[in-house]
Amino acid sequence: MPYTKGRPLCPEEKKFLVSVKHYFDRNKAEFGSSESSVQMTADALGIGLATVNRVMATYRKDPDSLTAPPQLRGRLIIMNAMTKDGWVPEASPFKVRPT
């Protein structure tokens, strides 16, 4: 599973992650490993523990959430604002040097 840090998982990748986690839950004794199934899933897929835990928590709350498109994460930065009177120059987060 090619994974790029910071990129949200698509619904197919989330379903795959849940399937792998359930597989390790069912067959953990056969592997003879002392690691948790979450750790084995993260290692097998090359993703972080936090990602596995987040996807599984979302899945446990609502199994249908796997088909939802990824949500944008992070901050929203408004570069410029416009009102009915025109652009508001002080809405820019950058300081403009006088020319």
String of DSSP letters for 5-22? TTPPPPHHHHHHHHHHHH
SS3 81: strand
pTM for this structure? 0.66
Could you state, in order of their start, the residue ranges of all structural domains in the chain?
Answer: 11-67
Tell me how crowded residue 14 is: count the other CB atoms within 10 A of its CB.
Answer: 22
Read off the pLDDT of residues 20-69 as tens digits, 9 standing for 90 and up.
Answer: 999 999 998 888 888 899 999 999 999 999 999 999 999 999 998 888 87
- CA–CA distance, 12 with 20 (Å, rounded to integer): 12
Which residue from 2, 90, 9 is spatially nearest to 51, judged by alpha carbons?
A: 9
pLDDT score at 79: 63
pLDDT above 80: residue 16: yes
- CA–CA distance, 71 with 84 (Å, rounded to integer): 31
pLDDT score at 74: 67
Query: Both tokens of residue 56?
Result: 């599984």
